[in-house]
Amino acid sequence: MKLALCNEMYERTPIGEVARRARPFGYSGLEIAPFTLAPDPLAVDPAPLRKSVEDAGLHVIGLHWLLAGTQGLHAGSPDAAVRDRTVEHLRGLARLCLALGGSILVFGSPAQRSTPQGETRSDTVKRLTDTFARLGDTCASLGLFLCVEPLTPKETDVVNTAAEAVAIIREIGNPCVRLHLDVKAMEAEAAPAHDVIRGNAGFLKSFHANDPNLLGPGMGDKDFRPIIAALKDAGFDGYLSVEVFDFSPGPDEIARRSAEYLRHILG
């Protein structure tokens, strides 16, 4: 397992600069939130962005927060035209991901998947599944992976557990649609995180490392030793991607402390 860093805690800092600052702490991957690139991320030229990251000694592993900052998009909307626009935007992000050198699209985006007013959760899940199936076909054609991320009920009412995500993945039946797990989000599961990991090992493709206190791993009370042990048992050989939501200690401090803690456990 290697270490990656989600770039949004550096806010509007150019991603090449983020990579340059992250490299000395032991990161080799960068996971990008599209909204940090430009108001319209599909309009950016990916070539210089990719070069700036690779010149700093890192590479882009993928994109997350796919629909954050967008307007009028919803993956489970009852309006077919809205879903079509959403799929086209996500397909554009898939092409951007490939051009940046990444291979993973992590779909969290709680606001753009939650049950719309007047609709039922079950119907929203059906429409979301259809959106994921359509995007999954695009990912398969590009050699990418779409990773479905369970989130807590505080964030959304749709896909709150790994079991719910896996049910969607099984229904789609596309090997390029896989599971993403997040330590903070797994706090809402009935089982401890290490059991959730082992129980869904066959579907796991990407992973966010963070503490339930919204800071990085090792910056709170969460013990990552059983989590790392479960990932090893699961045969997970992807990136431990540090994602935080409280930026107050400063991005370099968060990046440094998180990497030191994870590297200590990984040995």
Q: Where are the domains of the chain?
A: 2-266
Tokens of 27: 């990161």
Say if residue 12's pLDDT is above 90.
no
Q: Residue 177 and residue 36: Cα distance in Å, rounded? A: 25
Tokens of 120: 């039922």
User: Cα separations (Å) of 254 from 70, 109, 212, 219?
Assistant: 27, 23, 14, 8
Say if residue 73's pLDDT is above 90.
yes
Bridge-partner residues for 148, per DSSP? Answer: 107, 179
**Could you tell me how far CA 25 lies from the centroid of its own chain?**
21
What's the whole-number average pLDDT of the chain? Answer: 97
User: What does the pLDDT read at residue 90?
Assistant: 98
Tokens of 36: 């940090």
What is residue 122's three-state secondary structure? helix
Say if residue 108's pLDDT is above 90.
yes
Helix pair 46-55, 80-100: axis angle to 10 deg? 40
User: What does the pLDDT read at residue 255?
Assistant: 98
| Helices marked H in 69-147 | 80-100, 121-142
Task: Tell me whether residue 18 is exposed, middle or buried, using C-beta atoms within 10 angstroms of its C-beta: 0 to 12, 13 to 18, 19 or more.
Answer: buried
Q: What sign has the CA pseudo-torsion 153, 219, 12, 21?
A: negative
Q: What are the tens digits of pLDDT across the range 123-153?
A: 999 999 999 999 999 999 999 999 999 999 9
Q: What are the tens digits of pLDDT across the range 32-49?
A: 999 999 999 999 999 999
User: What does the pLDDT read at residue 166?
Assistant: 98
User: What does the pLDDT read at residue 267?
Assistant: 86
Percent of the chain with pLDDT over 90: 99
Does domain 2-266 fall into CATH 2.40.50.140?
A: no
DSSP state of 41: G
Say if residue 16's pLDDT is above 90.
yes
